[in-house]
């Protein structure tokens, strides 16, 4: 590749490869940002047929039950009364590994839920961590490239991993989570889940609330040490998938207590952290978790390919009373996930039994294409029409948000206490001495595999900025391993 400026696929120079274009500072992402769409669309098509990320997974059906009244916050019908039950399908996954990779590895875990509601399917696509490595979807293809196999060596390279993390200091918080005790869950049943992103709830009166979802495992948290995971991954690569299936077969149905943090919309602008920054949490002291539901998994799929591999989830699948926020990662994923499934499974993937609505029916004017099942028969394929076809409701699913400013590639706005290190430092200081030792050992083992001194030093410095003791211990541990 010749030297020169970064360009688009068409050869036009790229002015900003770090920040996607938004409607004003902190506003939603614009479709006119063709670099963002080009990168995400290209990234989705880099592998076939397995998922580019979250390829290795397991799933099960179950039930979500409302346990507390939240109707003053949302008009979603599946949350409309205490005791109401909704069928769900859940898919768990690792992120970086391919379809044949082992389960017991240090990696975030996907925590994706499909609620089959009477108003359509609602997909909540989260992880087992409340934060993520980056805050802008334009960086996502670059991030995942560092986690996957190097195009020259064919292996995952520590240089790539820590080069990107060191140059992206917003990742420090998530990396501290990942290399701590919860970085390798003992099973899918023994880990918490999070919606991670901030979402909108809106009630019948049109009031808006920003929310974050929490799923607390009723089985208790159980994790593996690096040494235990290394043995288990070699002995039983399918450990997590096997554990989930066998637990349900025994009648030991795993469950999670579901809660939500709720922020009135008016408080977002002056909150001490940017509430739409995926690399940040909302401290529970500011917004306590309110319990409102119970999730139970109680039925295994009958065919892994048909129901787990062909299952699709999109953060853009909302129902009335729930919607997006200006979170730039969420905005990008709303396009990227749906686009990936159209490419990987097919344009009519929503017609498959695991994906189609179970408590209502889809009524659209889309026709033909791969997997089309002829469900519309002779009905008209255009709208408006004079043949009693489905018509619009004239009521949006979510409430509009105000935006100001000029369009452009904007940095995510900072609030009073925002920086890339404060919450990572807070997390470190919450740990016991034993937890700190394991965290430093895990990180040092990974960083010691970096071949370039400048990349290793830059990575260590990010943790030093989070906490001086953290950085000092890590530097000493890396030096000891390097000899």
Tokens of 400: 């509009």
> Angle between the 158-167 and 140-147 helix axes, to the nearest 10 degrees?
150
Catalytic status, residue 127: yes
Q: Say if CB 450 and CB 459 are below 8 A apart.
A: yes
CA distances from 156 to 57, 230, 433 (A): 20, 17, 31
- Of the residues 54, 197, 341, 358, only one is catalytic, namely 54
Collapsing DSSP to helix, strand or coil, 121 comes out as: strand
Cα separation, 258 vs 88, whole angstroms: 14
Catalytic status, residue 54: yes
Report phi then psi at 207, rounded to 5.
-75, 145
Sign of CA dihedral 161, 414, 430, 281: negative
Q: Say if CB 202 and CB 321 are below 8 A apart.
A: yes
Report phi then psi at 331, rounded to 5.
-60, -40
Cα separation, 185 vs 193, whole angstroms: 12
Question: What torsion do the CA atoms of 470, 471, 477, 481 make, to the nearest 10 degrees?
Answer: 140
CA distances from 107 to 143, 438, 466 (A): 14, 16, 22
Find residue 114's DSSP bridge partners: 89, 123
Q: Say if CB 66 and CB 81 are below 8 A apart.
A: yes
Place of tokens 């990008």: 332
Question: What torsion do the CA atoms of 387, 389, 395, 396 make, to the nearest 10 degrees?
Answer: -140
Contacts of 327 (CB under 8 A, 6+ apart): 197, 198, 276, 277, 278
Report phi then psi at 408, rounded to 5.
160, 170
- Of the residues 19, 121, 127, 202, only one is catalytic, namely 127
Tokens of 379: 């009905």
Find residue 113's DSSP bridge partners: 90, 124
Cα separation, 26 vs 136, whole angstroms: 11
List the catalytic residues: 54, 127
């Amino acid at each position: 590749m010749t030297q020169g400026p970064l360009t688009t696929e068409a050869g036009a120079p790229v002015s900003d490869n770090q920040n996607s274009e938004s409607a004003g500072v902190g506003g939603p992402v614009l479709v006119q940002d063709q670099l963002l769409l080009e990168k995400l669309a290209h990234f989705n098509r880099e592998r076939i047929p397995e998922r580019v990320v979250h390829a290795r997974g397991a799933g099960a059906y179950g039930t979500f039950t409302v346990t507390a009244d939240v109707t003053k916050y949302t008009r979603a019908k599946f949350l409309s009364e205490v005791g109401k039950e909704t069928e769900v399908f859940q898919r768990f996954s690792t992120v970086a590994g391919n379809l044949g990779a082992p389960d017991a590895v240090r990696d975030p875990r996907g925590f994706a839920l499909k609620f089959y509601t009477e108003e359509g399917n609602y997909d909540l696509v989260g992880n087992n961590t409340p934060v993520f490595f980056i805050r802008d979807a334009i960086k996502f293809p670059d991030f995942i490239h560092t986690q996957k196999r190097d195009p020259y060596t064919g292996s995952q390279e520590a240089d790539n991993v820590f080069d990107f993390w060191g140059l992206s200091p917003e990742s420090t918080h998530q990396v501290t989570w990942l290399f701590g005790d919860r970085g390798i869950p003992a099973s899918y049943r023994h880990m918490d889940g999070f919606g991670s992103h901030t979402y909108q709830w809106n009630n019948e009166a049109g009031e808006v609330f920003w929310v974050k979802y929490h799923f607390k495992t009723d089985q208790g948290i159980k994790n593996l040490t690096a040494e235990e995971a290394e043995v288990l991954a070699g002995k039983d690569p399918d450990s997590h998938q096997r554990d989930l299936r066998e637990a349900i077969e025994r009648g030991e149905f795993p469950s999670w207590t579901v809660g939500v943090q709720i922020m009135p919309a008016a408080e977002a602008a002056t909150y001490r952290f940017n509430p739409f920054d995926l690399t940040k949490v909302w401290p529970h002291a500011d917004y306590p978790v309110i319990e409102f539901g119970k999730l139970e998994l109680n039925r295994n799929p009958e065919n892994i390919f048909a129901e787990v591999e062909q299952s699709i989830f999109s953060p853009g699948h909302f129902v009335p009373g729930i919607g997006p926020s200006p979170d730039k990662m969420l905005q990008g994923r709303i396009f990227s996930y749906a686009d990936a499934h159209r490419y990987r499974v097919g344009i009519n993937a929503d017609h498959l039994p695991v994906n189609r609505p179970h408590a209502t029916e889809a009524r659209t004017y889309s026709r033909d294409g791969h997997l089309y099942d002829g469900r519309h028969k002779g009905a008209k394929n255009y709208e408006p029409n004079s043949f009693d076809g489905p018509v619009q409701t004239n009521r949006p699913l979510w409430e509009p948000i105000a935006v100001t400013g000029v369009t452009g590639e904007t940095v995510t706005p900072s609030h009073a206490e925002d920086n890339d290190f404060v919450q990572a430092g807070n997390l470190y200081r919450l740990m016991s001495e034993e937890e700190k030792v394991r965290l430093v050992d895990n990180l040092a083992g990974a960083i010691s595999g970096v071949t370039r001194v400048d990349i290793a030093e830059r990575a260590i410095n990010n943790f030093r900025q989070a906490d001086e003791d953290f950085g000092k211990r890590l530097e000493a541990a890396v030096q000891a391993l390097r000899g």
